[in-house]
A and B are shown apart, each in its own frame.
Chain A
């Protein structure tokens, strides 16, 4: 099945990076509203670009 958290194969700005109060982060597809308690920290950007943001790279 097609999964909303996987790369779509298209280069467009398909995803966001969300963050909650605890500092946890979540990738999120742009076509859905951002759930309560989360805010967009990065994006819309491509899947790969989202994964390269500072919050999501091993540190």
Chain B
């Protein structure tokens, strides 16, 4: 690249307005509200170029570069808002005028002639793209730069890059227009017109006036009302991330035909084309996010009726546009909404976006206010360049939080251009392409449709995507023989009569035996009127009899209804009344747990079947008859019975056998209770295929050790776990011995990736299959085999045979891959419906618009999306239904029971996860004070609900928290009270202790727990900036503010910060209190207890540049490490440690109390080995002769020393418990030390006391800096002059008004640090 020398600027015309120096220049100007947000954003990540904005103009004609350079210079000087630098001052960030050089000497203009490049335009583009990635230094300035790149004889690219903090899009147009004007004047040898711009000071004054004026309050009220009860931010990606340093861009031209129709439609609707385009984006977002309430962000120039119309600067604002998009909304209706919303937003456009977010309490991560931004730039420059055409191209419109759709209307006949800009942390390039392609297709369809027709007919998937998700991904048709659940078992019994069919404890039954038993029972049941279509309840614990009963009912043609005898009698009664079975099969022990009804009870242990024929019955059920009825939780307070026909479950088992073939010799574990439908495949799959069923003990499924042993002893090859139980099982050491396992199936709840990893680690030879399905579709409808080494959510996978999955949006249109919708199921596995509940059946099993005529689909209520290769990922629920440890429950059912109680007026049940992985069911109630206490309520619920549905806590509230639109605000429900310990443990290392202190300081609180989140405690982004700077000064960890969003508690932050430094050094001999910094380090020595965390308070006070290392006693980290026998031995050891940090002197040493004596000894040792020690500072430390005659310390003395180390005065009668209680109460990190370390500390105290008394001091060659605790004390003989014999220089004494233990308290540290800093500075120079 050849640089063309820029022509010397000719002397500027006399009229050129030079910036006038004013008094304000020295103190600078404050930032506008708009700029403050940007300044903060840049402070988050100073090296980020995200706030660089840039464009280039393609200039064609006989350009005179020297004149353009002059014009640029003159225009820049006229625009004082542009010519600033912005620096942090004690009053916050302020902007200072910046003296710009002239082109060629300082003015930021780069020129280059690229004509000799092979592809000059590409070379220019590469140069610009590279320049765009270079961050500006706000404090230094200038905050803009130009380039003039020649790419042809008459072709130039004029590039400008400006930090967003001084310029916005409208400002660009003002600058470009003025530059063209000046250039044209210069070219014509005429005087350019007068400076057209207003001044920065006017802008700031206007901003301040607005913020203190009446309109500000009106605007605030407007936005509060407009956004009341708004939905959560609708990101198309379904998640939020912090802005990245760069963005992805995908550009497209809107086809001319679409543009023409768009303009015509806008005219027809008496709107503008941007209104229609925004409506299209709202529809797209609504469908893609599944929300009818959409909030888009609309950048506005923010200059209405203000002086800013004439000022090129940063004024623009982003305003929320809230729109309602229902499937029955029409294009005309939606466009009308946009027109009105834009109009309202314009009237209140000066109220800052950041202020709206703050008003709504949305500061902090993941709580965005708006989804995608629609940035419409209808203005074109139409630049008056003399003799030159200028075509603008945007390169960067500023940072992209999520997705920004930039639309440009160029008057040159090139039509509309659309740039989709995306945050690469949220979207991949492919996703971005897909969004743009769909949006363009959707826009074309909207403008081609009747504007009065409901938008329901418009889906967002492209035609190709529709075909994939409906047809290609669902290609599962598989013709099967018409059989039943029981038929294949009978065939198997004929094939292998002598093979073992089931094992229970010591009992083994062959296929022939089992078949005969079941046939006898079937004959007996037939006698009770059981026939195809009839229902038989079975209430038996897991046993051989249970399996005989299941088979017997099916052989008789009936459908079985499992009853868990552990359920409360009330629930069993409801189920029996609702289902009205022909009879109940049970045994005499279980019978006592069942309610009395009119039904016949068949007690198997009292019924002699031996006389009945063991031959199979002639009357078999057909595939269309029901095979079983299983009850699930119902949202209205009543459980509902799902009726599953034989054909459905037969398909399910045939698919399973094909996919994971079982053979004779396989052993399948039966451990799922019969009331849950997973048990159906466990019971029947093995028996249909000649394998052996291993039946677990009745309560065995809850006991991981029992399960591991059973699997090993019985050589089980196949079994099932609910993921949470799998986790428990894998944690059991015996699980690793279960090497007989070949196929393990998971279902019932989301399978965490971590569990998959744990599985492959523990059972490397087994396969793990993730299955998914509701009881309403015969157990499972999707499958995914987990592979090691993958990351991200575990998909639920692909459809099973003869099954179709639809992911549909709110208008029942298919969602393309990657877009979340509700999961619908269709095919042969659908249940008949809910027993005796036709209304409920008609709302859940609905007409299938994509299947064969007259077919149905089941709506699962599950949120899901397709992956690009045809697997489905589960994403949660559309309703309140929850799964707790694999069990499906409807909070509504529990709420109904609570609300039915006396004195309770309202109830709400939810699953909370206040700590990761700790899910609990919590109920909230309102009612009179006569409401029974929590335990009585729980006791009552346990009489009507199964155990897993009884909340672990029931909280009484005066009122439910409501969102502004009057709905229950679930997020505002309080966590149930817990005991104080769980509110946040005590800090357990110096970093945590320091952080809790800094959190408290910055937030203005007395104390902050280790688990308290910064933003929950009232932290704002500006406070966050302050906190991070305090952390930087104190601990020397420089982390971007973003870290705080990800790790908002002292504990989490300490983890993050110490991760950077590697290992936990809290108790090592060498403790890097602050490892970073430039100057020589200060070494600080532990007091009697051996721990030097007490010096952490010095860190912020000494300034950030100085490293500080603590020396700590041996014996803290490793048991049995011997304690030094003499003070000299200790000093030699420490000196060696010091040399690992600083190999050579001069050394600076500081010690408090015993630490002072150690510091002196180390100093002498270092001098004896030829090193220089230029600072020895002691904090209230006295030579050993002053102690020699005193008695050795008692345990109470040692405990007192421990307290003093934490900065507290000791006292009489100290015990370990009382000392620990004090430390805990004061939030000291020492309180969290394990018992072992505390014991070590007590030993160290005793040893140090001994060393102190026996040590013989040598002479230190040099001065002593001494801090005396000057308050009257019992040991009145202590005096620093006692050091005279052991030093040669000056004794510089500073007396503090405090007691010895108080020396590390903030006020004293202020004084000590001031003296130390001054001395260190002297030494540094």
**B316 contacts partner chain A, Cβ-Cβ < 8 Å:** no
Complex contact A57–B326 (CB within 8 A): no
Knowing A17-B842, A27-B846, A31-B454 are in contact, say whether A38-B854 is a contact too (CB < 8 A): yes
The answer to whether B327 and A37 touch across the interface, beta carbons within 8 angstroms, is: no
CB-CB < 8 A to A21: which residues of B? 854
Q: A24-59 vs B: 1/0 string, CB under 8 Å?
A: 111111111111111000000000000100011111
| Complex Cα–Cα for A46 and B328 (A) | 15
Q: How far is the CA of A28 from the CA of B456 in the complex (A)?
A: 13
Q: A11 interface residue, CB < 8 Å from B?
A: no
Instruction: Type the 1/0 row for B201-219, where 1 means its CB is closer than 8 Å to any CB of A.
Output: 0000000000000000000
Residues of A within 8 A of B852 (CB): 37
Establish whether residues A32 and B811, one from each chain, have CB atoms under 8 Å apart when the complex forms.
yes
The answer on a CB contact under 8 Å between A1 and B845 is no
Of all chain B residues, the one with the shortest Cβ separation from A20 is: B854
Find the B residue at minimum CB distance from A17: B842
Complex: A3 Cα to B821 Cα, angstroms: 10
- Chain B residues near A32 (CB-CB < 8 A): 327, 456, 811-812, 849
When A and B form their complex, what is the total count of cross-chain residue pairs whose Cβ atoms lie within 8 Å? 98
Cα A1 to Cα B815 in complex, Å, equals 13
B838 contacts which of A22, A30, A36, A58 (Cβ < 8 Å)?
A: A58
**Chain A residue at minimal CB-CB distance from B833:** A24
Bound CA–CA A57/B810 (angstroms): 26
B810's contact among A2, A22, A36, by CB below 8 Å, is which?
A: A2
Within 8 Å CB of A57, what residues of B?
Answer: 838-839
Please determine whether B291 and A2 come into contact, CB atoms closer than 8 angstroms. Answer: yes
- Contact B290 A35, beta carbon cutoff 8 Å: no
A59-B843 contact, Cβ under 8 Å, with A4-B327, A32-B811 = no
**When the two chains form the complex, which single residue of A1, A25, A27, A51 contacts B863, counting CB atoms closer than 8 Å?**
A1
Q: Decide if B836 is an interface residue (CB 8 Å cutoff).
A: yes
Given contacts A21-B854, A32-B811, A32-B812, contact A1 B847 (CB under 8 A): no
Interface range on chain A (Cβ under 8 Å from partner): 20 to 34
Q: Is residue B542 within 8 Å, beta carbon to beta carbon, of the partner chain?
A: no
- Could you tell me if B848 and A35 are in contact, using CB atoms closer than 8 angstroms? yes
CB distance from B123 to the nearest CB of A (A): 49
User: In the complex where A18-B847, A24-B856, A26-B847 touch, is A2 in contact with B292 (Cβ < 8 A)?
Assistant: yes
Known: A29-B327, A56-B839, A57-B838. A36 touches B456 (CB 8 A): no
Select which of A1, A2, A3, A22 is within 8 A of B854 by beta carbon: A22
Chain B neighbourhood of A28, CB < 8 A: 846-847
**Least distance between A39 CB and chain B CB atoms (Å):** 10
User: How far does the alpha carbon of A35 sit from the alpha carbon of B828 in the complex, in Å?
Assistant: 19
CA–CA, A25 and B837, complex, Å = 12
Q: With a CB–CB cut-off of 8 A, which chain A residues contact B809?
A: 1
How long is the Cα–Cα vector from A20 to B837 in the complex, in angstroms? 18
Majority secondary structure of chain A interface residues (helix, strand, loop or mixed)? loop
The answer to whether A27 touches B842 (Cβ under 8 A) is yes
Nearest-CB distance from B655 to chain A (Å)? 24
Report yes or no: A55 in contact with B847, Cβ–Cβ below 8 A: no
Bound-state CA distance A50–B839 (Å) is 9
Q: A4, B847: Cβ atoms under 8 Å?
A: no
Q: Which residues of A contact B856 (CB under 8 A)?
A: 20, 24, 26
CB distance from B291 to the nearest CB of A (A): 7
Q: Are B839 and A4 in touch, CB under 8 angstroms?
A: no
Q: Which residue from chain B places its CB closest to the CB of A25 in the assembled complex?
A: B842
B848 near A58 with CB under 8 A, answer: no
Q: Which residue of A lies closest to B326 (CB)?
A: A2
Whether the pair B847, A31 counts as a contact (CB closer than 8 A) is: no
For the complex, what is the distance from the CA of A22 to the CA of B856, rounded to whole Å? 11
Picked from A5, A18, A37, A56, the residue with its CB within 8 Å of the CB of B853 is A37
The chain B residue sitting closest to A7, CB to CB, is B843
Closest to A30 in B: B328
CA–CA, A4 and B454, complex, Å: 14
Chain A residue with Cβ nearest B846: A26
Among candidates B290, B846, B863, residue contacting A5 with C-beta atoms closer than 8 Å: B846
Within the complex, the shortest CB–CB distance from B1111 to chain A, in Å, comes to 61
Q: Is B654 an interface residue (CB 8 A)?
A: no
Contact: A1 with B839, CB < 8 Å?
Answer: no
Whether, in the assembled complex, B1215 has its beta carbon less than 8 Å from a beta carbon of chain A, the answer is no
B863 touches A58 (CB 8 A): no
Q: Is the CB of A4 within 8 A of B810?
A: yes
Contacts of B838 in A (CB 8 A): 25, 55-59
Instruction: Give residues 294-340 of B contacting A (CB, 8 Å).
Output: 326-328
- A33 and B813 CA atoms in complex are apart in Å by 12
Q: Which residue in chain B gives the minimum CB-CB distance to A8?
A: B326
A21, A24, A34, A37: which has the most chain B beta carbons within 10 Å? A24
Does any Cβ of A come within 8 Å of B1218's Cβ? no
Task: Tell me whether B220 is interfacial, beta carbon within 8 Å.
Answer: no
- The yes or no answer to B963 lying at the interface (CB within 8 A) is no
- Give bound CA distance, A56 to B837, whole Å: 8
Among B839, B844, B845, B849, the residue within 8 A (CB) of A58 is B839
A1-B290 contact in complex given A25-B838, A55-B838, C-beta closer than 8 Å: yes
- The reply to whether the CB of B776 lies closer than 8 angstroms to some CB of chain A is no
B439-485 residues with Cβ-Cβ distance < 8 A to A are 454, 456
Chain A residues near B849: list those with CB within 8 A.
Answer: 32-33, 35
Are A31 and B327 closer than 8 Å at their CB atoms?
Answer: yes
Interfacial chain A residues near B1137, Cβ < 8 Å: none
B853 touches A1 (CB 8 A): no
Chain A residues near B346 (CB-CB < 8 A): none
CA distance A36 to B843 in the complex (A): 18
Minimum C-beta distance from B842 to chain A (A): 4
A38 / chain B contacts, CB cutoff of 8 Å: 847, 853-854
Asked if B1026 CB lies within 8 Å of chain A CBs, one says: no
> In whole Å, how far is A47's beta carbon from the nearest beta carbon of chain B?
9
- Chain B nearest CB: distance from A51 CB in Å? 5
A1 touches B810 (CB 8 A): yes
Closest Cβ of chain B to A44, distance in Å, is: 11
A24 CA / B679 CA spacing, docked (Å): 29
Taken together as a complex, chains A and B put the C-alpha atoms of A29 and B849 apart, in Å, by: 12
B822 at the interface (CB under 8 A from A): yes
Closest to A5 in B: B843
A31 x B845 contact (CB < 8 A): no
Complex: how many Å from CA A32 to CA B810? 11
Known contacts A1-B821, A58-B839; is-contact A31 B328 (Cβ 8 Å): yes
Q: Which residues of B contact A (CB under 8 A)?
A: 289-292, 326-328, 454, 456, 809-812, 821-822, 833, 836-839, 841-849, 852-856, 859, 863, 878
Which are the 8 A-B pairs with shortest beta-carbon distances? Answer: A37-B854, A37-B853, A1-B290, A20-B854, A36-B853, A56-B839, A31-B328, A26-B847
29 contacts between A and B (CB under 8 A): A1-B290, A1-B878, A2-B290, A2-B327, A4-B810, A4-B811, A5-B846, A20-B855, A20-B856, A24-B833, A26-B846, A26-B847, A26-B856, A27-B843, A29-B327, A29-B812, A31-B327, A32-B327, A32-B812, A35-B849, A37-B847, A37-B855, A38-B847, A38-B853, A51-B842, A51-B843, A56-B839, A57-B838, A58-B837
* 9 further contact pairs, Cβ within 8 A, besides A35-B853, A56-B842: A1-B878, A17-B842, A29-B327, A32-B327, A32-B811, A37-B847, A38-B847, A51-B842, A56-B838
